[in-house]
Amino acid sequence: MAQDIAERCEEMSKPENLTIVEHPLVQHKLTLMRDKNAPTALFRQLLREISQLLAYEITRDLPVTHRRIDTPVTRMDAPVIDGRKLALVSILRAGNGLLDGMLELIPSARVGFVGLYRDEKTLRPVQYYFKVPTELRSRLTIAVDPMLATGNSSVAAIDLLKEAGARDIRFLCLLAAPEGVARMREAHPDVPIVTAALDERLNEKGYIVPGLGDAGDRMFGTK
Ligand code: URA
């Protein structure tokens, strides 16, 4: 599988803005989630756990400053995260599954939501909800959606975040299809993508293959 991923990345000349987190814990948990027999509660728990491992990767270069503190032993200048509180933006509804785990790790993050549905006639994403933190211009903004499939809704969500002032945006997903990565690269080459896996392709219904099915349905137990 690792070799497959490497080959696929090479084939599509892996864009610099794509990071695949190939950590064994991430890959193990992802395999459990892909299994169609995984119960809803387990799926949700694994998504929460993976979201924290992906969050670790996507925040690894956050700027730090130093604060003078007293440990029980001595005084020291210790690192703390610098700058404005970052913004986590969930692309509804499946984004909430990633958001919950990330908020446990970054409890002071500001939170936004983008709701989009697909117009059946034009097949284009239409906004039905948009609420984001203030001062996006000066915050690192991490948009989250488990599945980067066609890329249409992710691109539209990032369009909206840019219109709202966001300048430093990253995108975090669980699974990506080559089609979605290409679409994002074309529309938003400045937005780095972090994912647990780059799958083979989309099928005729727009599902990622091999994928894990409908992420929203699997995490919320709907059909
Ligand atoms: N959205 C999903 O939930 N699953 C897919 O495979 C593609 C888009």
Cα 171 to chain centroid, rounded: 5
Q: With CA atoms as reference, report the closest residue to 154 among 163, 145, 164, 162.
A: 145
Alpha-carbon distances, residue 89 vs 39, 100, 151, 166, 223 (angstroms): 27, 11, 16, 11, 25
Ligand 1: centre distance to CA 206 (Å):
7
Find out if CATH 3.40.50.2020 is the number for domain 2-60+90-213.
yes
CA quadruple 10, 12, 13, 18: dihedral positive or negative? negative
Residue 133: both structure tokens together: 């933190």
User: What does pTM read for this prediction?
Assistant: 0.91
Ligand 1: centre distance to CA 149 (Å):
6
Catalytic residues: 118, 122, 214, 217
Strands 64-70 vs 75-81: parallel, antiparallel or unpaired: antiparallel
Identity (one letter) of the amino acid at 50?
Answer: I
Q: With CA atoms as reference, report the closest residue to 98 among 57, 37, 68.
A: 57
Binding residues, by number, are 93, 118, 145-153, 208, 213-215
State which ligand 1 atom lies nearest to the alpha carbon of 211.
6
pLDDT in tens, the chain (223 residues): 444 555 555 555 566 789 999 999 999 999 999 999 999 999 999 999 999 999 999 999 999 999 999 999 999 999 999 988 999 999 999 999 999 999 999 999 999 999 999 887 777 889 999 999 999 999 999 999 999 999 999 999 999 999 999 999 999 999 999 999 999 999 999 999 999 999 999 999 999 999 999 999 999 999 8
- What was the pLDDT predicted at 180? 97
Q: With CA atoms as reference, report the closest residue to 106 among 130, 135, 85, 89.
A: 85
Mutate to test the pocket of ligand 1, among 33, 96, 200, 214 (most ligand atoms within 8 A of CB): 214
Q: With CA atoms as reference, report the closest residue to 87 among 18, 147, 47, 144.
A: 144
Q: Can you tell me the distance from the alpha carbon of 146 to that of 57, in angstroms, rounded to the nearest whole number?
A: 15
Element holding 209 (H helix, E strand): strand 208-209
Residues 6 or more apart whose CB falls under 8 angstroms from that of 40 comprise 218, 219, 220, 221
- What was the pLDDT predicted at 1? 47
Pocket of ligand 1 (CB under 6 A): 94, 147, 149, 206-208, 211, 214-216
- What was the pLDDT predicted at 223? 84
- What was the pLDDT predicted at 15? 67
Q: Can you tell me the distance from the alpha carbon of 5 to that of 19, in angstroms, rounded to the nearest whole number?
A: 12
State which ligand 1 atom lies nearest to the alpha carbon of 207.
6
- What was the pLDDT predicted at 149? 96
Cα 28 to chain centroid, rounded: 18
Closest C-alpha residue for ligand 1 atom 5: 207
Binding residues for uracil, by number, are 208, 213-215
Binding residues for 5-phospho-alpha-D-ribose 1-diphosphate, by number, are 93, 118, 145-153, 214
